[in-house]
Amino acid sequence: MTFDRPTGAQGRLDRRTALAGAGAAAAAVTLAACGSAKSTPARKEPGVEVVKAADVPVGGAVIAGDTVVTQPVAGSFQGFSAACTHLGCTVSKVDRGRIICRCHGSAFGLDGTVATGPAERPLDPRPIRVDGDRIVTA
């Protein structure tokens, strides 16, 4: 059995076209895989309200979109990305001082550290500051 192999300009064009198509397909797959990350950028412009300070319980936390704001002690706020460091699910629950990821059961403390795996890394810090009665991006 033999195969005809294109040669010359026509052959190069076909290979180029095929490679361009493969590249476009790979780019589409990459964009689809990162679609949620693109819609929730890690870095926002400063001064954007994340949550009202009064809505963050002392000894607790609030999940506000892609950001978790904790208040371990009165008047001390910390911000973290809501993306679980295990496989990237958004943490979805706060229970008794623990930030919970329901995907595989990881839990994080109010300081972002891992309380229960499978996550091995703490939540990524997210710069915030208090602005009057609001917690805003820093």
Which positions touch ligand FES (CB under 6 A)?
Answer: 84, 86-89, 101, 103-106, 118-119
Decide whether 97 or 118 has the Cβ nearer to ligand FES: 118
Decide whether 6 or 105 has the Cβ nearer to ligand FES: 105
Decide whether 103 or 138 has the Cβ nearer to ligand FES: 103
CB of 90 to ligand FES, least distance (A): 9
DSSP letter string, 96-113: TTEEE-TTT--EE-TTS-
Quick check: helix, strand or coil at residue 135? Answer: strand
Name the residue among 110, 16, 102 with its Cα closest to residue 6: 16
CB of 33 to ligand FES, least distance (A): 15
Structure tokens at 126: 């997210």
What are the distances in angstroms from CA 17 to CA 22, 25, 31, 48, 66? 9, 12, 21, 45, 40
Q: How far apart are CA 106 and CA 131, in angstroms?
A: 31
Decide whether 53 or 101 has the Cβ nearer to ligand FES: 101
CB of 87 to ligand FES, least distance (A): 4
CB of 93 to ligand FES, least distance (A): 11
